[in-house]
Structures are given as structure tokens and as C-alpha cells.
Amino acid sequence: MARRERVMRMSVEQPLWRALAGYRVLTMLYAIGFFTTAYSGFARPWLAVAYYAVLFVWTLATLPKVSSAASCTKRFLTADLTIALTGILLTPFADAHERVMDGGPTLPSIWTAGSVLAFAVKGGWRWAAVASTLVAVANLVERGSPARDTVHNVILVWVASIAIGYVVEVARASERTLARALEIEAATRERERLARDIHDSVLQVLAMVQRRGAVIGGEAAELGRMAGEQEVALRTLVSGGLVPVSRVSEDTAEGAVVRAVDEPEGNDPEGNDPEGPVDLRALLAPYAGSLVNLAEPGAPVPLAPLAARELAAAVGAALDNVRKHVGEHARAWILVEDEPDEVIVTVRDEGPGIPEGRLAEAEGEGRLGVALSIRGRLRELGGTAELISVPGQGTEVELKAPKKTTSSTTARGKAAE
């Protein structure tokens, strides 16, 4: 089945870039509107008109430059700040001297803050500090003295831009941490899926070859010995938790892009198979035989396809453990209970039971049948697997799978397909 990659984009920067683009347009219109109302008070209005014409064209033409971090280059930032500083320094030549001394606005007015904020969003608080310092120097040169209003405006722009730059840096670090955590989670689930599949197939075949080779003897014994060595090596690899080379996350200029899981095409957003639920009884029926008794309701037991397959595979793993630890001719019983909110499947054998501490010891040796093939599968479904063993009275494995799974559980389950 063809697969497509679901991509989750997470970026706090993109809303900031959109807000910055809107801010630049609005403040440009504000500056031009203010000049229009005070046109008669300017000493050289033609100089202001020329500057506002440049500001109008520049602001609209460079909107694509403030759409993302990738398009906002250092060259653009330098040119943008130059236009803002030029407007500040031109103010004494275009406006009346009295209004300049009274604390009147500069030609770019609050548009200048947009240029400084672009530095903050692009490069963090250090870039913002440099840009806001240059604006402060230009304002002091324009006024000729550190007036109260000038100092107030300079400090306001300085603090705001540095704070925004710091927040952006923290957000980027958080996104990288989250992307790495999702990467590790995805790799861990993939490793567990491979471990379950290996345990259900390759490891059991190698163990059987080892046992049969020891019984037959001769060259078969040597083959069995080699199979045993490979089984130990493979168990060590499976339980060692090697994390593959990352193909899960990558950092882009617009934020972290996390490739969460591969999901089959054609599935609906909730992860349900378009063919509908599966009758669990049909998947468990092949396990029934002369040694395995299957007791199930007289009506269908519907489950989502993924849940049904994983639950049936867990039952198969439990029966494999019965044959391996109790004997090839051991009897087992499977009981299926269809509850309103969940399906309960119980597998019971007639063996001697599991000694206390044996499961933990087996996991330490790399034998992960119960941990991965049974409990791991049910955990992926949002269910549980409980083992009840009394020495001399056999072992009972109770598997509980919910009929309805959350979207997150479904997405995790797809990683196991």
C-alpha cells in the first residue's frame, strides 16, 4: 500500500512575521497620514514628500521579505534600517525647528520600530540590541540633546525589541527540544515494533533450529550452535535500543518540521479503515484446535482493524509462550468477552506457572516476549495486559483493548503497521 508522510509544522515565528508585515503597512500609512494633516507646518514639505514616496514603495515592495525568516536576509535588514535612520536624520531638515525641539515625531515615526522588530525576530535579542542602539543614536542626533520624550521612546523600543528577540530564541529552543523528543519517541516505537516482529518470527525460528540441532547431532548440532549464537546477538541488538539515523525531524528557517509517522493513504483522519471494523473471532479462530479451546460470544466482536490485528497477535504470542515453556502438547484456553467499552481476551494454560521474578529476569536477558509482543502491543492500543500466575496452577494472561481509541493512540498504532 502506498504511504504518505504526515507533516506537522510547529512554529511560533510565522505568526510574528505576519504581524510584522501588517505592522509595517499600518505604521507607514500612519506616518503618511500624520504628515498630510501637518503639511503646512513643514519647512521643506517637498523633502518629506520625497521620503514618504520612497517609504511607501519600499514598504509594499518588501512585504515578501518579511514573510519568513528565510526571505528576511541580512542585506534586506541593513537596507531597511538604513531607510529608517535616514528618515530620522532628515527630520530636522524637512520639519520646522520649533516642532522638532518640542518633541514632534520623526519622518518615519513608529514605522522605525518595525525595522528593529525585524532584527529581533530574525536574529534574536542580540541583533535587536544592535538595531535599537543605532536608532537611539539617530534620535539623539536628530534632537541634538537627550530630551525626556526622546529617551522614553528610545528605551521603550529598546526593551520591547530585546524582549521579543529573547522570546523568539526561547521558542526556537523549545521547538528543537520538542522535535527531538518526538523523534526519540517515534524511533523508540519503531524499535519496539521491530522487536515484536523479530520475536514473533526470527528469534523463535533460531531457537527452534538450536533445539532441533542439539537433538539431531552431527552437522545439525553445529548449525544449531551457530543459530544459538545468532539468537543471542539478535536479542542483544533488539534490547539494546539502537536509535536509527534521524529522518524524523529537521529544522527549517520557518520552524521545526516534524515528520511524525507514515500513515496509509485512504484512511480517514481518525485512522479507521474505510472497510469498517473487523470481527475479532475470525482472527482468533485459526488458533483453535485440539489443544487450544476457543470460547467466544455467539455474536460478532467488532474492533478497528489495527486493534483486532494487534490483539490477535498478542494472543498468538501468549500461545507461543505456552508451547515454549509448558510443552508442545500443553493445553490452553482462549476466552473472548465483549464488553460495552472494551474487549477482554483471556489466555490460560495448564502449566506449572511462572516463578516470581522470572519475567524481570527474562527482560534483563533480552527475552522480550511478554514485554513487547504482549504488553507492548496492548499499550499501543491504550489497553492493558495482566499476567496472573500461581505456582502449580498455570498462567493466565488477561488482555484488555478499548473499542474506541483516541486520535493520538491511533497515530501511535499506525507506526506499528
Q: What is the pLDDT of residues 280-319, one digit of tens each?
A: 988 888 888 778 888 888 788 889 888 888 898 888 888 8
Residue 372 — pLDDT band, cuts 50, 70, 90?
A: low
Whole-number Å distance between alpha carbons of 181 and 251? 14
Q: Give pLDDT, residue 409.
A: 47
**What does the pLDDT read at residue 248?**
34
Averaged pLDDT, 131-157: 76
- Range of lowest pLDDT (53-67, 68-82, 320-334): 320-334
* 74 phi/psi in degrees, rounded to 5: -65, -35
Q: Are 374 and 317 in contact (CB under 8 A)?
A: yes
Q: Cα(63)–Cα(25) distance, rounded to whole angstroms?
A: 9
The pLDDT, as a whole number, for residue 275 is: 58
> Residue 1's pLDDT is what?
39
Share of the chain above pLDDT 70, in %: 73
Which residue is listed with cell 521547538? 175
Is the predicted pLDDT of residue 144 greater than 80, yes or no?
no
Which pLDDT belongs to residue 393? 75
- 3-state SS track over 324-383: HHCCCCCCEEEEEEECCCEEEEEEEECCCCCCCCHHHHHHHCCCCHHHHHHHHHHHHCCC
User: Residue 411: what pLDDT?
Assistant: 47
CB neighbour list of residue 364: distance below 8 Å, 6 or more residues apart? none
* Residues counted in the chain: 417
Mean pLDDT (whole number) for 343-347? 91
pLDDT score of 61:
94
Find, among 409, 404, 388, 296, the residue nearest to 342 by Cα. Answer: 404
Nearest to 270 by CA among 306, 302, 300: 306
For the residues 229-246, what does the mean pLDDT come to? 54
Percent of the chain whose predicted confidence (pLDDT) is above 90: 13
Position 75 scores a pLDDT of 93
